[in-house]
Structure 1
């Protein structure tokens, strides 16, 4: 390995600067990253410093190396670990930053939608107001849920109690009808949109198949 190659191998960037963590939205409250790692590909070393929620869109076997450490020697398994639509909130990055790189040792695309928080969180983990769908997890930083809508059906009208990211889990057609008259259509797995705090909205399934929408409320 040449000196220049070693420098590249050890290059460290912030998570939103890592090329496989594509920045989709960036607001004062949150970011949305589309994380895609192809089989055999490895990310740059990147640093996490804020709490984050992950939504799984496509699964594969992955391994990680903490900066200064070694690979965990994870081996590919079939079917790959994880579940499409799974939601995981990681609070520990707010207490202790981590720098690592990730490699896809499996045979399928590894894809997540990641939502890092830029907010200070709440001291009261029990939030006021409801969130659509079935609650998955709730902590100081996030409240996460999943809403399942049957074909051609619509939800009741809701109001966002905090900035909220909506993530489409599988291909379909879901329309977000906003209180100001604008509509947003999500049609592909991994597509997302942001509902602003205090915004009124309704969700309508424009397709025949049942659709799952993950809600990531950033507190």
Structure 2
């Protein structure tokens, strides 16, 4: 399936319907970036990035942390949300107001009103990192959408169907792009291809993905 954004540049990229219930909002987060990065520093200082282990014993190539009243964790016992950081046994850092504001505005723009995320997952991709195809299904609230913000170097986002072997669309996500999916697309398989080695003027050789979840 053809890449959706291969022929588009920063000046003419348009809002893109990916699938029923799934929308890409190119550049939607750009005006918020300075405030986002300022708020991110204290979060990472309190709850540093770490490489989680899957229930099958595989160490994830993507490093992650959380903020909000709940954080997503993985270990040999399974995937789950919990109130405390397992590394420190402290509560996760509070979700900054700018994070919540941006998440709710993006959800509303995509057609999802009254989005109230309790968890914000922050993933750090370095060259060679990737995210295998998966579904987001650890949330009790199955009606609320997922809101995902891309910062830093570009990445190829894979968006498939409700079965792992369904064909995937390839979206080139750039700095400031936001993807929102819910409704009929809520349980679509998705992932990120191996990150190529490149450099961004603000974030260097890395990509940050900030993802919001409404757990209940």
Shared topology, TM-score over 0.5? Answer: no
Q: Relative contact order (C-alpha < 8 Å, sep 6+): which is higher? A: 2
| The structure with more helix, counted as a fraction of residues | 2
Larger radius of gyration: 1
What range describes the TM-score normalised by the shorter chain of this pair?
0.3 to 0.5
Report the TM-score when normalising by structure 2: 0.40
